[in-house]
Amino acid sequence: EAGVVQSPRYKIIEKKQPVAFWCNPISGHNTLYWYRQNLGQGPELLIRYENEEAVDDSQLPKDRFSAERLKGVDSTLKIQPAELGDSAVYLCASSLSAGSETQYFGPGTRLLVL
Amino acid sequence: AQSVTQPDIHITVSEGASLELRCNYSYGATPYLFWYVQSPGQGLQLLLKYFSGDTLVQGIKGFEAEFKRSQSSFNLRKPSVHWSDAAEYFCAVGPLVFGKGTRLSVIA
């Protein structure tokens, strides 16, 4: 069974440019998570989807970040415009459902903003 | 609010020695607790989890953890560390709140 797929794996952009990350969760997983992991820190939840609905986006900086999960499968996270402080690893994870279910993580997208 | 504290930022152990990584949590009810491992450039892999029942939980790669409600702790242990265990270890509660991680180095 394929795991969580993320692309690109690495991205280098200049500040003020837009950037997008793509995530394909494990087939059948209804819950999808986007996390940001700063260097030397643990993952911090940005947004959680239950199927197509964003049920927890309180930590998403909505002035520059947006996310969507069309048809309850793939998801895209966008930053526009990017700032220097957005340099981090963006992790996508999925689970069968929320709560006690195990999350399966993708390899992440490492973003560097210059 | 939920929170997780991993007091040790970096631990170095000798190969073959025992290991204990500390995790303390703050949660209003009986928590769901997790330990994940992250190798360089990789995503997080679940080592073990506790939901209820037996407070000693066995995981993959020879790891175990013990839930102690009185101490609000969920420490990770391994009796004999291998060089391949060198990685970053994260404790999580909820499962949405992660600690800052403990980096494990293994020396010969």
**Chain B contact for A26, CB < 8 A?**
no
Reported as a single tens digit per residue, the pLDDT across B46-67 is: 999 998 888 999 999 999 999 9
Q: Which of A102, A94, A91, A95 is nearest to A37 (CA)?
A: A91
A100 has pLDDT over 70: no
Reported as a single tens digit per residue, the pLDDT across B5-57 is: 999 999 999 999 999 999 999 987 778 899 999 998 788 999 999 988 889 99
A1 has pLDDT over 80: no
Chain A interface mutation, best of B23, B89, B96, B98, highest count of A Cβ atoms under 10 Å? B96
A85 has pLDDT over 90: yes
Write out chain A residues lying below 8 Å of B92, CB-based.
42
As a three-state string, the secondary structure of B7-59 is CCCEEEEECCCCEEECCEEECCCCCCEEEEEECCCCCEEEEEEECCCCCEEEC
**What is the spatial distance between Cα B37 and Cα B88, in angstroms, rounded to a whole number?**
6
**What is the spatial distance between Cα A43 and Cα A40, in angstroms, rounded to a whole number?**
10
pLDDT tier at B2, thresholds 50, 70, 90: confident
Structure tokens at A61: 């900086």
For B98, the closest chain A residue by CA position comes to: A42
**What is the spatial distance between Cα B82 and Cα B67, in angstroms, rounded to a whole number?**
24
Nearest to B42 among A48, A101, A107 (CB): A107
B1 has pLDDT over 80: no
Reported as a single tens digit per residue, the pLDDT across B66-82 is: 999 999 999 999 999 99
Nearest to A43 among B41, B49, B98 (CB): B98
Which pLDDT does position A109 carry in this prediction? 96
Write out chain A residues lying below 8 Å of B98, CB-based.
42-44
**Chain B contact for A32, CB < 8 A?**
no
Q: CA of B27 to nearest chain A CA: how many angstroms apart?
A: 14
Which pLDDT does position A2 carry in this prediction? 79
How confident is the model over A38-53, as a mean pLDDT? 92
